[in-house]
């Protein structure tokens, strides 16, 4: 898949300076290699450290089992799925897969199409729970911004939805100001979050 590339900026977690990065419309082989050869070993090493320190399992990274190579291959088969990557200084810093065939659940938007964020992950060195300070800040927000922008392009009004892993709930509730519709029994009781068109406008203006 060839990717369209847009210039974006991340924040250096140590200095607070802006760093030029790329938002890529598509996940390609290089991103998957970065996930396999850089993200995975880092994550596995951190989990071993946590295990040795007796950190309870629920505090381990919850996206540990995600296989981006498999997810990207499946997504390529469907028109209704799109992948995005953020690269900075030659390394993939975040990945996201979205679906385009889901409907809104919030009462006043019910039945209207939205962009559903299937998976969103930032490189482990950008996660403050794994590295302090994180190498780059802003990866998750940029990817969510891409999801909301896609929703607008699709004339979905910015409507965006997702099921959040427990460790990410605060990000979606506070940083993205999405509505928390509570646990979803059909999705391993993960909490479902949704953004209305008004919330999408506020999110894009806020630039968090």
Task: Determine contact, residues 158/195, Cβ cutoff 8 Å.
Answer: yes
Does position 101 bind other proteins by CB under 8 A?
Answer: yes
Q: Give the residue from 94, 76, 78 showing the smallest Cα distance to 146.
A: 94
Does position 179 bind other proteins by CB under 8 A?
Answer: no
Range 135-174, binding other proteins (CB under 8 A): 146, 149-150, 153-157
Does position 185 bind other proteins by CB under 8 A?
Answer: no
Instruction: Output the furthest CA–CA distance in the chain (Å, rounded).
Output: 50
Cβ nearer to other proteins, comparing 7 with 16 = 7
Does position 115 bind other proteins by CB under 8 A?
Answer: no
Task: Determine contact, residues 80/87, Cβ cutoff 8 Å.
Answer: no
d(CA 121, CA 14): 21
Does position 27 bind other proteins by CB under 8 A?
Answer: no
d(CA 207, CA 115): 19
Which of 25, 30, 42, 137: binder of other proteins (CB under 8 A)? 25
Range 75-94, binding other proteins (CB under 8 A): 77-80
Cβ nearer to other proteins, comparing 88 with 165 = 88
- From 30-38, 55-63, 106-114, 121-129, give the range in contact with other proteins by CB under 8 A: 106-114
Site size for other proteins (CB under 8 A): 22
Q: Is 14 helix (H, G, I), strand (E, B) or coil?
A: coil
Does position 4 bind other proteins by CB under 8 A?
Answer: yes
Q: With b meaning 16 or more CB within 10 Å and e meaning fewer, what string describes 79-116? A: eebbbbbbbbeebbbbbbbbbbebebebeebeeebbbb
Q: Give the residue from 195, 125, 112, 205 showing the smallest Cα distance to 158.
A: 195
Does position 52 bind other proteins by CB under 8 A?
Answer: no
Cβ nearer to other proteins, comparing 50 with 100 = 100
Where along the sequence are the contacts to other proteins (CB under 8 A)? Answer: 4-6, 23, 25, 77-80, 100-101, 111-113, 146, 149-150, 153-157
């Amino acid at each position: 898949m060839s990717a369209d590339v847009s210039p974006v900026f991340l924040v250096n977690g140590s200095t607070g300076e802006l760093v030029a990065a790329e938002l890529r419309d598509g996940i390609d082989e290089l991103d998957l290699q970065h996930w396999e050869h850089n993200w995975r070993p880092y994550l596995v090493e951190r989990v071993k450290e946590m295990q040795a320190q007796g950190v309870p399992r629920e505090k381990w990274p919850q996206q540990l089992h995600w296989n981006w190579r498999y997810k990207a291959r499946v997504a390529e088969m469907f028109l209704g799925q799109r992948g995005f990557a953020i690269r900075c200084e030659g390394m993939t810093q975040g990945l996201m897969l979205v679906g385009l065939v889901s409907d809104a659940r919030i009462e006043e938007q019910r039945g209207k199409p939205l962009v559903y964020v299937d998976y969103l992950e930032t490189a482990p060195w950008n996660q403050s729970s794994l590295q302090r300070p994180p190498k780059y800040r802003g990866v998750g927000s940029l990817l969510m911004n891409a999801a909301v922008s896609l929703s607008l392009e699709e004339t979905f009004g910015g409507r965006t939805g997702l099921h959040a892993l427990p460790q990410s709930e605060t990000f979606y509730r506070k940083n993205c100001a999405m509505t928390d519709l509570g646990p979803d029994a059909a999705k391993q009781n993960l909490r479902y979050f949704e953004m209305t068109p008004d919330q999408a406008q506020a999110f894009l203006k806020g630039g968090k």
